[in-house]
């Protein structure tokens, strides 16, 4: 990364600030260590969730997303996100508005009523991609104070981090590498497990409409990780975090299971390796508890 100071507008979304603020604090803390400043997006709303609001009414989903993009444009900054839903929504909206000029006019007519305009001058980045591509793996390795040697990590990508490929642009969605690179850079080991690339089960309004079915789906994924000998799961998505972490409490209540499998947003695991404490990263404020192996 170049020496110049880099600033981003942090699009918080809903789950990160309103359910798992440990994710928010991990992003701000980790990036600060690399000289990346985070600016708040005053007045941002829900992204809004692409599989939920996009399923209800595309023509409401798009102007709300465009309004969020316009806030970052006014700040003159690129965006980073900590949720695949936000990534999916904002990047897709930006892509569509850049591609289709008629659509853009229509959306701007609506935005004009609230004093906003989408110009197409920002870029939507995922925080994990910022770490991988902008910060880079060598500077990351240089900041590792507590290498996570002997820690087996199950990687869960979620869906909208990689797909659709034509919008995301991170290569193959069947053989991803970004999180694997990061896990290795902090001294841990990615483990293979059955259905590694399968969705967490929460998206598209399924969790909202039928929690039981979505939990049944998630349970299978967790069992696969545990059977493969993983010590924890990391992911790039606040909504997956909710489903994987809070979902374990809900599963234990609904199915009589006794899951307590540690769930971390990828930057929380990176934060631990960089020497931040469990408390500083908000990991003591969630359902699943961190094992000694990750904290020593």
Partner 1 sequence: MGTLLDEIIDWGGGVFGEEHMETLRQCVQCGKCTGGCPSGRITALRTRKLFRMAQEDMREEIFNAPELWYCTTCYTCYERCPKGVKCTDIIRVIRNLAAKEGHMSVPHRKIGVYALKTGHGVPIGPDQMKIREAIGLESQPPTTQKYKEQLEQVQTICKETGFDALIDFDWDKMDLKGAEAKK
* Per-position b or e across 118-137, b if 16+ CB within 10 A of its CB: beeebebbbbbbbbbebbee
- 236 secondary structure, DSSP code: S
Separation of alpha carbons 161 and 155, rounded Å: 13
Under rule CB under 8 A, residue 278 binds partner 1: no
Q: Which is nearer to partner 1, 47 or 140 (CB)?
A: 47
Beta carbons of 215 and 254 less than 8 angstroms apart: yes
Q: Which is nearer to partner 1, 140 or 221 (CB)?
A: 221
Instruction: Quote the least distance from Cβ 41 to partner 1, whole Å.
Output: 7
Binding string, 26-65, against partner 1, x = CB under 8 A? --------------xxxxxxx-xxxxxxxxxxxxx-xxx-
Which residues, 103 to 122, sit near partner 1 by CB under 8 A? 103, 110-111, 113-116
Beta carbons of 232 and 151 less than 8 angstroms apart: yes
Instruction: Quote the least distance from Cβ 238 to partner 1, whole Å.
Output: 9
Q: Which is nearer to partner 1, 152 or 219 (CB)?
A: 219
Place of tokens 């020593």: 296
Segment near partner 1 (CB under 8 A); pick from 92-100, 123-131, 246-254, 268-276: 92-100
End-to-end CA distance of the chain: 30
Instruction: Quote the least distance from Cβ 131 to partner 1, whole Å.
Output: 20
Place of tokens 């599989």: 51
Q: Which is nearer to partner 1, 48 or 236 (CB)?
A: 48
Angular region, 77: left φ>0, alpha ψ -120 to 50, beta rest: beta
Separation of alpha carbons 46 and 12, rounded Å: 8
Instruction: List the one residue from 25, 122, 248, 288 that touches partner 1 (CB under 8 A).
Output: 25
Which residues, 153 to 212, sit near partner 1 by CB under 8 A? 159-160, 163-165, 173-174, 195, 198-199, 201-206, 208-210
Instruction: List the one residue from 9, 15, 77, 225 that touches partner 1 (CB under 8 A).
Output: 15
Residue 198, CB-side half-sphere exposure with 13 Å CA sphere: 18
Under rule CB under 8 A, residue 250 binds partner 1: no
Under rule CB under 8 A, residue 234 binds partner 1: no
DSSP-derived 3-state class of residue 41: coil
Q: Which is nearer to partner 1, 60 or 253 (CB)?
A: 60
Separation of alpha carbons 82 and 175, rounded Å: 22
CB atoms closer than 10 angstroms to residue 275: 12
Instruction: Quote the least distance from Cβ 12 to partner 1, whole Å.
Output: 5
């Amino acid at each position: 990364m170049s020496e110049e100071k880099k600033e981003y507008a942090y699009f918080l979304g809903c789950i990160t600030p309103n359910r798992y603020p440990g994710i928010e604090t991990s992003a701000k803390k980790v990036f600060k260590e690399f000289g990346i400043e985070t600016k708040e997006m005053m007045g941002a709303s829900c992204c809004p969730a692409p599989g939920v609001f996009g399923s209800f009414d595309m023509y409401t989903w798009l102007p709300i997303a465009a309004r969020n993009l316009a806030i970052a444009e006014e700040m003159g900054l690129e965006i980073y996100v900590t949720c695949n839903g936000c990534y999916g929504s904002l990047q897709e909206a930006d892509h569509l508005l850049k591609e289709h000029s008629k659509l853009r006019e229509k959306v701007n007519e609506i935005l004009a009523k609230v004093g906003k305009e989408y110009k197409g001058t920002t870029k939507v980045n995922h925080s994990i991609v910022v770490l991988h591509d902008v910060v880079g793996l060598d500077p990351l390795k240089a900041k590792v104070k507590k290498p996570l040697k002997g820690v087996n990590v199950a990687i869960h990508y979620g869906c909208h981090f990689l797909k659709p490929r034509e919008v995301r642009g991170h290569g193959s969605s069947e053989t991803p590498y970004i999180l694997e690179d990061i896990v290795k850079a902090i001294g841990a080991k990615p483990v293979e497990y059955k259905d590694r690339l399968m969705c967490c089960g929460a998206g598209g309004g399924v969790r909202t409409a039928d929690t039981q079915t979505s939990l049944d789906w998630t349970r299978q994924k967790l069992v696969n990780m545990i059977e493969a000998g993983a010590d924890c799961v990391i992911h790039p998505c606040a909504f997956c975090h909710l489903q994987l972490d809070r979902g374990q409490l809900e599963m234990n209540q609904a199915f009589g299971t006794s899951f307590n499998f540690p769930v971390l947003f990828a930057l929380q695991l990176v934060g631990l390796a960089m020497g931040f404490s469990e408390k500083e990263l908000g990991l003591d404020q969630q359902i699943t508890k961190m094992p000694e192996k990750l904290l020593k």
